[in-house]
Amino acid sequence: MRWAPDARGRLERAAFELFAEQGFAATTVPQITARAGLTTRTFFRHFADKREVVFAGDEIPENAARLIAEAPADLEPMQVIRSVLHQVAAARFDGNHAQTAAWRRIVEGNDELRDRDARKRSDLVRAARGALVGRGETPLQATVLAEIGVLVFQVALESWVEEDPATARPMSVVIDEVLAALPLAARP
């Protein structure tokens, strides 16, 4: 097939089906493309390798930095973090609970993917830090805020995917619960 609508989406769906059925390590790019009804050449136009199907989102750090930079100037730094986390949750996670839970199981089940996940989080911290410095925060404040933002996101995500898909709350509610727990966690 020379042109196929939603090739990237079809490849992602096929890959995640295969990862769930037979595991990440056992799944090959030719299997993914066969399931999607596409060619390996098409796969490599969209992804560098099969790990990038799991982490399709080099744009995530850039989007987070953009959202931080575009936040209203009168917001306090933690309000900016909360606003950005809510926007990301609404855009990427709410309505995708089952897929997100499956994605997290795939990542957690593979050492290589867990390492890649940690690197992606580090990239996100760096991007957020730069955007916060651009908003006038000192490098130290920006680093702490960026680390807190990514930590809140990670804890909220892990808590959210453990919820029953039938009764899962919006991820923003879980984000707010994690944010509310910060002062308690910081007590000596």
Residues 21-47 pLDDT 10s: 998 999 999 999 999 999 999 999 999
User: Considering the entire predicted model, what is its pTM?
Assistant: 0.83
**Predicted pLDDT of residue 1:** 46
Q: Is the pLDDT of residue 184 over 90?
A: no
Report which of 31, 171, 46 is spatially closest to residue 99, judged by C-alpha positions.
Answer: 171
Mean pLDDT of 136-157: 96
Residues 45-99 pLDDT 10s: 999 889 888 886 567 889 999 999 999 999 999 999 999 999 999 988 888 888 8
Largest CA distance in the chain: 62
- What 3-state DSSP class applies to 21? helix
The more confidently predicted of residues 104 and 184 is 104
CATH class of 57-185: mainly alpha
**Predicted pLDDT of residue 4:** 61
Please tell me what DSSP assigns to residue 71.
S
The radius of gyration computed from the CA coordinates of the chain, to the nearest angstrom, equals 18
Quick one: fold of 7-53?
Answer: Arc Repressor Mutant, subunit A (1.10.10)
Please, is 48 exposed, middle or buried when counting C-beta atoms within 10 Å of its C-beta (0-12, 13-18, 19+)?
exposed
Read out DSSP for 133-150?
HHTT--HHHHHHHHHHHH
Domain range list for the chain:
7-53, 57-185
Q: How confident is the prediction for the chain on average, in pLDDT?
A: 91
Mean pLDDT of 154-182: 94
Q: How many CB atoms lie within 10 A of CB 94?
A: 17
Helices (H), the chain: 7-22, 29-36, 40-46, 51-54, 59-70, 77-88, 97-108, 111-134, 139-162, 171-185
